[in-house]
Amino acid sequence: MSAPVGDLAGQGASGADLGALSGSRGVLSEWDADPALGRVVLSVEQIARRVAELGKMITADYASRPPLLVGVLKGAFMFLADLAREIQLPLELDFMAVSSYGRATKTSGVVRILKDLDIDLTGRHVLVVEDILDSGLTLSYLRKSLLARGPESLAVCSLLVKRSVQPRPDLELAYVGFHIEPEFVVGYGLDVAERYRNLPDIRVYLAGEPA
């Protein structure tokens, strides 16, 4: 007799096997054949290890005051999903969407709020979760906008910070995953013209401005 439809135990096992074959452990994947992608800046394992460390730090720092995590869409979606599971506190989540780049790989200097928060920030301990700081312009704008809403505290956790960023104490950058060279990178949520967000590791993007 064949296995019943929806045999989750069986599917789980095959899913895990496929992951081991196609993923991160030096085995060639479809991504390696993409000429637009350069070297791996951060591997799946490096990212996972650091996200777990950040989660531990945040768990300790916010033990007495569970945070409201504000994910900045879309780039931070994958980081936020992983980070939230590494924080062992009864936290809450909300999302904002901002756009600073449009389709280009250089900042336009214009930040727009495309989707605002649902939750009132008054008296809350807000932790903004960002994908990457390049010029710092997006975060600087976001910070002002959030501070005006009366949170009890406001801090920022960014997975990546480019070494081009001038140290800016005003940005309340409490947690940084990695400092990276000022190259354009994609993967683990980061895109170029909406592509490569699902790349599991973080790689240099080699091609020029997307067509």
Residues of this chain that interact with ligand IMP (CB under 6 A) are: 75, 100-101, 107, 130-138, 184-186, 190
Cα–Cα distance measured from residue 186 to residue 197, given in angstroms and rounded to the nearest whole number: 7
Residue 159 token pair:
């997975």
Name the residue nearer to Mg ion (CB basis): 131 or 201: 131
Question: Is residue 94 annotated as part of the catalytic site, yes or no?
Answer: no
Strand, helix or coil for residue 27:
coil
Q: Say whether residue 71 binds Mg ion (CB under 5 A).
A: no
The residues, ordered by sequence, that sit 6+ positions from 66 with a Cβ below 8 Å of its Cβ are 89, 90, 91, 92, 125
25 CB-near residues (< 8 Å, 6+ apart): none
> Which option in Mg ion, ligand IMP, none does residue 156 bind, with CB closer than 5 to 8 A by kind?
none
Query: Residue 183, SS3?
Result: coil
Closer residue to ligand IMP, CB minimum distance, 67 or 75: 75
Q: Which of ligand IMP, Mg ion, none does residue 42 bind to, with CB < 5 to 8 Å depending on kind? A: none
Cβ nearer to ligand IMP, comparing 44 with 89: 44
* Site track 26-55 with Mg ion (rule: CB under 5 A), x = hit: ------------------------------
Q: What tokens appear for 166 in the block?
A: 């001038």
Q: Which of 75, 136, 151, 189 binds Mg ion (CB under 5 A)?
A: 75
* Residue 105: DSSP 8-state: S
Nearer to ligand IMP, 40 or 185 (CB): 185
- Complete DSSP assignment for 117-174: -SS--TT-EEEEEEEEESSSHHHHHHHHHHHTT--SEEEEEEEEEETTSPP-GGG-EE
- Minimum distance, C-beta of residue 148 to ligand IMP, in the bound complex (Å): 19
Nearer to Mg ion among residue 18 and residue 114 (C-beta): 114
> What DSSP element (H or E) covers 41?
strand 37-42
Q: Which of 134, 170, 191, 201 is catalytic?
A: 134
187 binds Mg ion (CB under 5 A): no
Contact partner at residue 137 from Mg ion, ligand IMP, none, CB < 5 to 8 Å by partner kind: ligand IMP
**Residues with active-site annotation:** 134
Instruction: Please report, as ranges, the residues that interact with Mg ion according to CB under 5 A.
Output: 75
